[in-house]
Amino acid sequence: MEITNRIQEAVASGIKSLYGQEVAAESVQLQETRPEFEGQVTLVVFPYLRMSRKRPEDTAQDVGEYLVREVPDVVARFNVVKGFLNLVIAPAQWIGLLQEINSQEHFGFRPVTPESPLVMIEFSSPNTNKPLHLGHVRNNLLGWALAQVMEANGNRVVKTNIVNDRGIHICKSMLAWLKWGNGETPETSGKKGDHLIGDYYVLFDKHYREEVKELVAQGMDEEQARQEAPLIKEAHEMLVRWEQGDEEVRSLWRRMNEWVYAGFDETYRALGVSFDKIYYESETYLEGKEKVEEGLAKGFFYRREDGSVWADLTKEGLDEKLLLRSDGTSVYMTQDIGTAKLRFQDYPIDKMIYVVGNEQNYHFQVLSILLDKLGFKWGRDLVHFSYGMVELPNGKMKSREGTVVDADDLIQTMIEDASQMSADKVNRLEDITPEEAREIARIVGMGALKYFILKVDARKNMLFNPEESIDFNGNTGPFIQYTYARIRSILRKAQAQGIEIPAELPTTAELSDKEVSLIQHLQGFAQTVRQAGQDYNPSCIANYCYDLVKEYNQFYHDFSVLREEDKQKQVVRLALSEAVSKVVRNGLGLLGIEVPERM
């Protein structure tokens, strides 16, 4: 049982014994003692004044004396500051807690059972006309981390992806390839398939802008020129043929999408993310149209004179939402409804979480209401995990102009930078092979990228600075990874010297305030995992890990581990180091960040 739980139960017993009043143990308010006072846990006694009918100081004195008398193995001594009772916890309790942390492979995690709630998380959502970019990187890393956090909180998790594989943007790439591709393939070009198709998307836009410019020069206004340009007309004709099932267009579409998916898979592997199920909008939009027609028949929606179908959400304080165009074609909302239908057929979902940027806040507000109207039990309570945009020191990204920050280039750059930055450290390692050096660079580079993105509250816009992210000092992934590797080195040296951490730690060992503070910080990991799940906020895990290693480094600076002559202190410090490394490994693991055993 955690120390706080024991104190809560003891306080509840004390209130009944002292004042004859029943209080629930879980209602007892405990907090960390402020650094200027002695103690580690503080009890707020104000809620019990009406029971004691005494001054705050006297009530705190009563309860403090009761705790020292009745649970001396937990509370060693106390001090009173006004209405606050500061408790000094007995050292044996901290050592027992440390042993408990080390005995659990995944301390702080809740078990997942077949009866656990099923949470589906949608993330990534790429378009098949271009490779993944920096914005997708943030989306994928957030989605993966959120999935790990929800599972650590005892949920069954299904990770899904919805691929936008149809529409005018896809036809633009296809048409450009037909016109200027000369049969080029990923094999003949040496390019990843998603990059190859992305190049043709950019090429289409280049020629399209030239056509618009020429029409404007001939006296046409710009808006009309955009609609009358031969290229855009051809692209629309291709889209109509696709909608009609034209086999020539469909065959080319399937072939080019295959190239893109192979490229996506390579990027996903590099990012360390995967999916349990992938849905495709080309398969869901017809399902959405059926569901909208069903809602129309039930009177949830209405049809206008031009044949378009709308949902009137004015009673919900919103506006009217288009669901089917007058020509019967679907919109994004229709596709999301269709995808929801297929998902609910595939899985008994208890909660649905969409990881999508904050520019879609209104869309998901509407989708929630529509799904609820259509009978999806999780519709009203769906979660839009809304995140901010990623910007670079030199501005935003524009994919049509080819100035996008490509995910693959970014990953490669991060690994190369990590290799250069860590070269002096890695080269000092004994028996380091080139393969191991490359693997360390990969782990550090990806750790830098992931941590820098995930340490920021997802709701905020962020500035990604590659140089700052790879620093081995400060609140960065490499700083945490380096501390982990240092601890593993200490533990290996201890083993080489024949120093083992015993199964039962010596409860009589003396503990410094710094060691107690570290154990207390370790105890807080479980609550941090809970908080991350409740708030859908992986950043609190990232910042917890940073605070923990920062505190460990201060401890390591002030206290010797392997050179400590007192054997009891030595094994407790080794156990403390072991616990810190385990919690760091598990904490970063929730963020999808690996840790190197040597660095």
How far apart are alpha carbons 185 and 199 in whole angstroms?
A: 12
How far apart are alpha carbons 453 and 465 in whole angstroms?
A: 10
* pTM for this predicted structure: 0.91
C-alpha distances in Å from residue 535, one per residue of 149, 351, 451, 529: 11, 14, 19, 10
CA dihedral 582, 588, 594, 595 (to 10 degrees): -50
pLDDT digits (tens, 9 = 90+) for 125-181: 999 998 999 999 999 999 999 999 999 999 999 999 999 998 899 999 999 999 999
Whether 112 and 97 have beta carbons less than 8 Å apart is answered as no
Instruction: State the amino acid at position 485 in one-letter form.
Output: A
Which one is predicted more confidently, 437 or 64? 64
CATH code of the region 407-590: 1.10.730.10
Mean of pLDDT values over 351-363: 96
How far apart are alpha carbons 147 and 153 in whole angstroms?
A: 10
How far apart are alpha carbons 148 and 168 in whole angstroms?
A: 35
Q: Is the pLDDT of residue 272 over 60?
A: yes
Q: Phi and psi of 515, rounded to 5°?
A: -70, -40
Mean pLDDT of the chain: 93
Whether 278 and 328 have beta carbons less than 8 Å apart is answered as no
Mean of pLDDT values over 218-230: 93
Residue with tokens 């995992």: 529
CB burial of residue 75 (10 Å; 0-12, 13-18, 19+): buried
**Which pLDDT score, from 0 to 100, does residue 467 have?**
80
Q: Is the pLDDT of residue 404 over 80?
A: no
Tokens at 165, concatenated: 């594989």
Q: Is the pLDDT of residue 41 over 70?
A: yes
Three-state secondary-structure class, residue 599 = coil
Tokens at 323, concatenated: 């669901």
**Which pLDDT score, from 0 to 100, does residue 403 have?**
57
**Which pLDDT score, from 0 to 100, does residue 426 have?**
66
Give the residue extent of every domain in the chain. Answer: 3-89, 407-590
End-to-end CA distance of the chain: 37
Q: Is the pLDDT of residue 397 over 50?
A: no
Tokens at 114, concatenated: 């077949």
C-alpha distances in Å from residue 57, one per residue of 34, 62, 252: 17, 9, 81
CATH top-level class of 3-89: alpha beta
Least confident of 411-420, 520-529, 565-574: 411-420
**Which pLDDT score, from 0 to 100, does residue 427 have?**
65
How far apart are alpha carbons 298 and 146 in whole angstroms?
A: 37
Tokens at 155, concatenated: 């949920």
Task: Of 356, 432, 390, give the one whose Cα is nearest residue 123.
Answer: 356
Three-state secondary-structure class, residue 32 = strand
Q: How confident is the model at residue 396 (pLDDT cuts 50, 70, 90)?
A: very low
Q: Is the pLDDT of residue 329 over 90?
A: no
pLDDT digits (tens, 9 = 90+) for 68-105: 999 999 999 999 999 999 999 999 999 999 999 999 99
Task: Of 160, 152, 109, 145, give the one whose Cα is nearest residue 593.
Answer: 145
The C-alpha angle with vertex 287 and arms to 286 and 292, in degrees rounded to 5, equals 95
Least confident of 146-160, 183-197, 258-272, 406-420: 406-420
Whether 522 and 94 have beta carbons less than 8 Å apart is answered as no
